Amino acid sequence: MVFLISLVFIAIIALEAPALVRNKKWRELAAFSVLLLIGMLYSYGQALDIPLPNPTKLILTIFEPVSLIIERLLS
Amino acid sequence: MVEHGKISSNQVSWMIISFLLGSSILLIPSAVASSARQDAWLSLILTIAAGQAVIYNYATLSMMFPGRTFVQYSREILGKYPGMLAGLTITWFSLHLGSLVVRNFGDLLSATVLPHTPMVVTDSIIIILVIMGTRMGVEVLARVNKLIIPFIVLLILLILVLGIPEMEFKRLLPVMESGIKPVIKGSLVVIGFPYAETVLFTMIIPFLNTPGKARKALVTGGLAGGALLFFIVIWTLLVLGPASTARFWFPVLEAVRVIDIFNIIQRIESIIIIAWIFLGFLKISVCFYSFVLGLAQLFNLKDYRPLVLPAGVLMLALSQLVYENYVEEAYFASKIWFPYAMVPGLILPLTMLAVAVIRELGSRKTEK
């Protein structure tokens, strides 16, 4: 699985990065790299079962109280 | 700016119809029926009314800044850093929503037709298509949508008609058995999902070739999509009954399974799954497009296209981990989504509209 993920990322870099470097699009390259890095983090993290920050948990913590208030208002 | 395509107001209306139907067609009947039971259809009527208000709100806001997306004009309204925060909220919302919808469809296929295929495989195929479509630009997305979705809608309506022999109107009784509160609770679910999510169209309507028609196109599409949702919910209630509708994961699917005309037309659920995949693809595409365009505009890039591949991987990876199991998914969609989606869907654009009006920004020819 890790092997496949690595293949995919190498392919992505090979497809996009040379064009960006050749045309000197540094901002795009920076954004591309940051996005790719986060993607790598989450992909490898999942493949290797490393616990990662889950946005669902964050949203649950913030909005569950709100949802409970709404429930109480409407029953 | 980074996008040179142009779309027509007709295309926008169809896009919002397929966006509204998107993943809601899968999950809405169950979510609403679990709150409102046999009055779920009443909830839908409330929702359509409220949903129009939501659409009207951000459409008015967008029309004050023709040719600019939410991310672009938020900087003007709120200032540099709060504007960036607002843009980031919408961009994050599109990423999150996209990964949730991908997850919904992965669940659908894994649970019904492709049980032995790992979900990441089916999701990857969907994501690859979405990446390809987004890379080609919003005009391509709008055209593909306009080409395919009318047939899909026709197909769905046909299937609804085929279900008429199985309908029993007494399944809708007693009406308002528990009063109005469960009806309101049910309608909140649908206001959050999908109506509040349509705020992502603020990233798309700047590319209209007739900017003055933006609000009308959105409101028309919102009504049409809402009407379709209404028919689907009431149909499911009539065919399955409220208890089953609330219980099944995909009640529309189960209801379609019931259809059996003279032993010839039966087991047609595969047709409706194909229809759903098209709708889901469009919804994911809109979310994905909104995400990469938002990112590109937040970072002042000249082109969003280089971001498309890594963003796709990110959305795919997120889709695998957002829910641990179906119970979490159902709970999140029916209870947590409404307050969460209201923030970017209503609260944020409403605040920005108020600030824009007070500060007298943007072009004020809102009536056309």
Please tell me if residue B327 touches chain A, with a CB cutoff of 8 Å. Answer: no
pLDDT tens for each residue of B157-167 = 998 888 888 88
Cα–Cα distance between A8 and A49 in angstroms, integer? 19
Q: Cα distance from B148 to chain A (closest Cα, Å)?
A: 30
A31 and B184 within 8 Å at the Cβ level: the answer is no
* pLDDT reading at B53 higher than 80: yes
Cα–Cα distance between B356 and B64 in angstroms, integer? 9
Number of structural domains chain A divides into = 1
Count of helix runs (H) and strand runs (E) in chain A: 3, 0
A64 and B336 within 8 Å at the Cβ level: the answer is yes
Output the pLDDT for position B128.
Answer: 94
Q: Which helix (H) or strand (E) holds A73?
A: helix A55-73
Give the nearest chain A residue to B309 (CA atoms): A12
A75 and B96 within 8 Å at the Cβ level: the answer is no
Domain ranges of chain B: 9-356
ipTM exceeds 0.90 = yes
Please tell me if residue B328 touches chain A, with a CB cutoff of 8 Å. Answer: yes
Of the candidates A31, A43, A55, which has its C-beta nearest B313's C-beta? Answer: A43
Which residues make Cβ contacts (< 8 Å) with residue B77, sequence separation at least 6? B83, B352, B355, B356, B359, B361
pLDDT tens for each residue of B83-120 = 899 999 999 999 999 999 999 999 889 888 899 999 88
Mean pLDDT of B228-257: 89
Please tell me if residue B301 touches chain A, with a CB cutoff of 8 Å. Answer: yes
Say how many C-beta atoms besides its own lie within 10 A of residue B147's C-beta.
Answer: 11
pLDDT tens for each residue of B299-336 = 888 888 888 999 999 999 999 888 878 888 888 888 88
Mean pLDDT of B237-247: 88
pLDDT tens for each residue of B261-291 = 888 888 888 888 999 999 999 999 999 999 9
Peptide bond before residue B194 is cis, with ω within 30 degrees of 0: yes
Which residues between 5 and 64 in chain A have a beta carbon less than 8 angstroms from any beta carbon of chain B? 8-9, 12, 15-16, 19-20, 25, 27-32, 35-36, 38-40, 42-43, 46, 52, 54-56, 59-60, 62-64
DSSP notation for B167-226:
--GGGGPSTTTT-SHHHHHHHHHHHHTTGGGGGGGGGTGGGBSSGGGHHHHHHHHHHHHH
* pLDDT reading at B364 higher than 70: no
Token look-up 């409102």 returns: B36
Helices marked H in chain B — which ranges?
9-21, 24-36, 40-63, 70-78, 80-111, 119-136, 138-162, 181-192, 214-240, 242-247, 251-258, 269-298, 308-321, 326-331, 337-342, 348-358
Q: For residue A25, count CB atoms less than 10 angstroms from its CB and return exposed for 0-12, middle for 13-18, buried for 19 or more.
A: middle
Residues of A whose CB is below 8 A from B320: 46
Mean pLDDT of B167-191: 86
Output the pLDDT for position B78.
Answer: 84
A35 and B317 within 8 Å at the Cβ level: the answer is no
pTM: 0.92
Mean pLDDT by 10 residues, chain A (75 residues): 88 88 85 91 87 85 88 81
Say how many C-beta atoms besides its own lie within 10 A of residue A72's C-beta.
Answer: 8
Cα–Cα distance between B355 and B318 in angstroms, integer? 34
Peptide bond before residue B66 is cis, with ω within 30 degrees of 0: no
Mean pLDDT of B142-158: 92
Q: What is the residue range of A16's domain?
A: 2-73
Which CATH code of 3.40.50.800, 2.130.10.30, 1.20.1740.10, 1.10.540.10 fits the domain covering B9-356?
1.20.1740.10
